[in-house]
Amino acid sequence: MTILTSILGSKTFGFAAFLWQEAEAGKEGADMASAFTMGEMIKNLGPIAIGVIVILLIMSMYSIAVMVERFLTYRAAKAQSREFAPRVAQALKNDRIEEAINIADKHKKSHLAMVVNAGLHEFRAHEAGSEISGSEIDASKRALQRAIAIKSAEFRRGLSGLATIGSTAPFVGLFGTVFGIISAFTGMKNAESAGIGAVAGGIAEALLTTALGLAVAVPAVWAFNYFTGKVDGFVIEMENSSSELIDYFIKNRTRQLKP
């Protein structure tokens, strides 16, 4: 009986010790999990990681501002051009140059209006003569080309910034990643331990800066490609309008030369 009691007592003690170890392990796991929450990671960031994150946030805010501004600009240009094109075409069909210029002046956000306005002003300056020469038509062509170049540069404003952010933001994040890994190994050396707790903070810091760098870069690259396609489409529309206007000038000159 005494032997049985001692055996049961030892088993009970062993089972209690096992439960105690499991409880302690669970507590350590809970502490480790709480240490890996986003709030805890941000609290434990080093000065270099904070600097990298601030730079990335500034880049993100700039890219968002450019995206919104360019989207509104392109939408206004497209809307006004749709309204402008049929009205100016009707005016030119009836040879009402002044009316066409007035219509263009009322659509200042339209890229087509700017190009047509430049060509019509140049054309009107030489229209007072008895006839329009080939050199005067060439002068109108140059005026149209200058207007296209100016408007294209205006449409592309800010896109180089998006391209720069899209190409450099991952490397800025990688800079923070490198220092995070260095911090992890430094923590391991100081703790003289290879446990996860010694390197967890540095690795979390490295991964956070990497993720933020990618989060800033990807939308900037998408927006740059999207807006570049929009600008290319606007340039084609301006060149087509320029060609049609030159054809109108030539037809007008032909009518003047007829006896």
Determine what percent of the chain is predicted with pLDDT higher than 70: 69
What is the distance between the alpha carbons of residues 40 and 139, in angstroms, rounded to a whole number?
A: 68
Percent of the chain whose predicted confidence (pLDDT) is above 90: 31
Q: Comparing C-alpha atoms, which of 79, 70, 66, 138 is closest to residue 112?
A: 79
If you average pLDDT over residues 127-141, what whole number do you get? 66
Mean pLDDT in the chain?
A: 77
Separation between Cα atoms, residue 42 and residue 156, nearest integer Å: 37
Amino acid at 240: N
CA distance 199 to 196: 5
pLDDT exceeds cutoff 60 at 14: no
The domain locations on the chain are 46-257
| Higher per-residue confidence, 246 vs 254 | 246
Where is pLDDT greater, at 115 or 257? 115
* Cα–Cα distances in angstroms (integers) from residue 36 to residues 175, 196, 199, 202, 212, in the given order: 22, 12, 12, 11, 17
243 pLDDT higher than 80: yes
With a cut of 90, say whether residue 230 has pLDDT above it: yes
pLDDT, tens digit, for every residue of 65-114?
A: 999 999 999 999 999 999 988 888 888 888 788 888 888 888 888 888 88
Angle at the Cα of 192 from the Cα atoms of 191 and 196, rounded to 5 degrees: 65
Is the confidence at residue 236, as pLDDT, over 80?
A: yes
Q: What is the mean pLDDT of residues 211-215?
A: 91
Residue 257 has pLDDT above 80, yes or no: no
pLDDT over threshold 60, residue 235: yes
In whole angstroms, give the CA distance from residue 127 to residue 107.
24
Residue 15: pLDDT over 60: no
pLDDT band at 17 (very low <50, low <70, confident <90, very high): very low
| Count of beta carbons in the 10 Å neighbourhood of residue 40 | 13
Q: Give the confidence band of 55 by pLDDT, cuts at 50, 70, 90.
A: very high
> How do residues 168-187 score in pLDDT, each as one tens digit?
999 998 888 887 777 767 76
Report the pLDDT averaged over residues 160-166.
94
Residue 218 above 80 pLDDT?
yes
